[in-house]
């Protein structure tokens, strides 16, 4: 039985929930192991730090959900526009929102000649779509409609909420592990070992295993979290492309827009590593200094275009 877009969206939301739960478990396990390490191997000593970490991660996540979109829009220097500012653009967004069955998101413009766009917010009732001036000026109406449909698909599919939560959880985990590794680097580990050798108590063999696990997790957990985040982000880009075709019934529009975005050499100055995954194409170009050492935040652009062309032929 063929799956519908509603099935894909429901699966997307389930997978998002499971992925967030997995990140919470990873954060808890990492902080628990670090707590055991700092207490000379006592397995009971990691429970309180793990609980504090969960409360802190929950607080940061709530803060991001309710204030993150405003921070992102402000960081991107986006200004809100009304219908009288650009009636045609407003009407395109309104049409696609009706087709998607969601309230019309707030519309923002970034005064930059580069071509790009992103969506943010916590749900379809509290969402915003931002596009650059370059995108508005250099795309045809069909291409503009394809890009806006892609961003509104992110809103309808709840990708905006997922990406916000995941960014906070990954950032929190990276921060905790980075602080712990700096503690080890500056001699905290050697002092702790001297203390434990002079006063052995704690948890014996289990504690020793947890101590080793703390060091291992502090190294691999941030890498693993980042890889999972980027893999999930790439899958959501594919789904948003397909959803845009569902909304516009014209895959050539989005395919043509992606080709222009891929050939654009303009640098989007307001983009950074914290927001790059939000955009329809990665705004940090491979030739920029900012691009060094980055994992792939988006699927290969040509592959996305080829998939859209294939949908058009079908």
- Tell me the per-residue pLDDT of 142-153, one tens digit each, with 9 for 90 and over: 999 999 999 999
The pLDDT of residue 19 is: 79
Angle between helices 204-248 and 87-100 (to 10 degrees): 110
Which of 250, 262, 270 lies closest to 304 in space, CA to CA? 262
Question: What distances in angstroms separate CA 243 from CA 48, 100, 110, 247, one per listed residue?
Answer: 44, 9, 25, 6
Is 151 tagged catalytic?
yes
**CB contact at 8 A, 35 and 48:** yes
Pairing mode of beta strands 106-110, 78-80: antiparallel
Q: How far apart are CA 56 and CA 40, in angstroms?
A: 24
Q: How far apart are CA 93 and CA 27, in angstroms?
A: 39
Q: Is the pLDDT of residue 313 over 70?
A: yes
Question: What distances in angstroms separate CA 211 from CA 30, 32, 172, 205, 283, one per listed residue?
Answer: 11, 10, 21, 10, 41
DSSP secondary structure string, 154-210?
A: HHHTTHHHHHHHHHHHHHHHHHHHHHHHHHHHTTHHHHHHHHHHHS--TTHHHHHHH
Q: Which of 151, 266, 269, 303 is catalytic?
A: 151
**pTM of the predicted protein model:** 0.83
> Strand 126-132's sheet: what is its strand order?
78-80, 106-110, 126-132, 117-123
Work out the pLDDT band at 198, boundaries 50, 70, 90: very low
Q: Is the pLDDT of residue 196 over 80?
A: no
Work out the pLDDT band at 295, boundaries 50, 70, 90: low
- Tell me the per-residue pLDDT of 55-75, one tens digit each, with 9 for 90 and over: 988 898 888 888 989 999 999
- Tell me the per-residue pLDDT of 122-141, one tens digit each, with 9 for 90 and over: 999 999 999 999 999 999 99
- Spell out the domain ranges in the chain: 5-313
Work out the pLDDT band at 1, boundaries 50, 70, 90: low
């Amino acid at each position: 039985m063929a799956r519908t877009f509603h099935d894909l969206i429901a699966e997307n939301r389930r997978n998002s929930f499971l992925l967030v739960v997995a990140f919470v478990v990873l954060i808890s396990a990492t902080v628990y192991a670090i707590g055991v390490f700092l207490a000379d191997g006592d397995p009971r000593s990691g429970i309180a730090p793990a609980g504090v970490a969960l409360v802190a991660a929950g607080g940061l996540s709530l803060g991001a959900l309710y204030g993150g979109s405003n921070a992102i829009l402000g960081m991107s220097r986006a200004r809100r526009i009304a219908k009288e500012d650009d009636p045609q653009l407003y009407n395109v967004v309104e049409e696609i929102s009706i087709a998607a069955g969601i309230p019309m998101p707030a519309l923002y413009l970034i005064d930059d000649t580069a071509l790009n766009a992103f969506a943010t917010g916590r749900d379809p009732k509290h969402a915003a779509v931002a596009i650059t001036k370059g995108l508005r000026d250099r795309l045809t109406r069909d291409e503009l409609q394809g890009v806006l449909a892609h961003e509104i698909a992110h809103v309808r599919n709840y990708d905006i909420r997922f990406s916000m939560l995941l960014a906070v959880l990954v950032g929190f985990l990276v921060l905790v592990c980075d602080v712990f590794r700096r503690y080890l680097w500056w001699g905290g580990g050697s002092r702790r070992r001297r203390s434990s050798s002079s006063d052995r108590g704690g948890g014996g063999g289990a504690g020793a295993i947890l101590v080793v696990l703390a060091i291992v997790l502090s190294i691999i957990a941030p890498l693993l979290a980042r890889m999972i985040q980027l893999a999930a982000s790439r899958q959501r880009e594919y789904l948003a492309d397909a959803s845009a075709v569902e909304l516009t019934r014209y895959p050539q529009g989005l395919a043509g827009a992606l080709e222009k975005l891929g050939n654009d050499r303009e640098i989007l100055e307001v983009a950074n590593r914290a927001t790059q995954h939000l955009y329809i194409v990665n705004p940090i170009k491979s030739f920029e200094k900012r691009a060094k050492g980055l994992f792939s935040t988006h699927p290969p652009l040509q592959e996305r275009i080829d998939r859209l062309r294939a949908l058009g032929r079908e």
